[in-house]
Amino acid sequence: MRLPPGRNIAVLISGRGSNLRSIVASKDTLGAEIRLVLSNKASAGGLAFAEEQGIATEVLSHREFSDRAAYDEALVGLLKKYSIDVVVLAGFMRVLGPQFISSFSNRILNIHPSLLPSYPGLDAQGQAIEHGAKVSGCTVHLVDEGTDTGPIIDQAVVPVLAGDTRDTLAARILVHEHRLLPRALQWLVQGRLELQGRNVLIHEE
């Protein structure tokens, strides 16, 4: 199944937005508009950056909702208001439920700091060090209803060095995240991705 191109992107963040910055830096080559930056935290540093770039911002706090389903429903409604058709999770620290996933099926990208399927979930860098891994890295994948289980689009390998801490490993992985995520987003919005079961094929322009 060839995934259709997209036009309007929302980037979801919870923190400083370093991956958001890498996406914005590539906006002239995306072929789509970054229409919205949304956070579940009003204190997220990436919101100020987005405003400086002239991108619309919204805050939707999960604390204002009784449960995950209610939050997801409100989130979907807000994104639809902006005519969003591609969602990028760039450090968004909320697990999204089935309603949200189905509303943007095969249209949600996530970046994860490990070589999936190894070390899904929280503190992937710490998991790698704790298990004595010799290599780690990052993965861009489509989001499904599992935790970091969606079809893999791209990966980069980063060695785990002697004496590495969670923070030193995370910093080296982040360099590759900033390269991989904008490129995978470009492939998606330009309609260059094809899904064959769990395999993702990348077509030339």
Answer yes or no: 178 catalytic: no
Other C-beta atoms closer than 10 Å to the C-beta of 141 total 22
Considering the candidates 62, 112, 176, 203, report the single residue annotated as catalytic: 112
Tell me, what DSSP letter sits at residue 62? G
The string of DSSP codes covering 31-62 is: SSEEEEEEES-TT-HHHHHHHHTT-EEEE--G
- Are 186 and 29 in contact by the 8 Å Cβ rule? The answer is yes
Whole-angstrom Cα distance, residue 159 to residue 134? 6
Closest CA to 77 of 10, 148, 150, 14: 10
CB 113 within 8 A of CB 125: yes
CB 17 within 8 A of CB 43: no
Q: CA 120, CA 115: separation in Å to the nearest integer? A: 9
Please state whether 62 falls in left (phi above 0), alpha (psi between -120 and 50) or beta.
alpha
Residues recognised as catalytic? 112
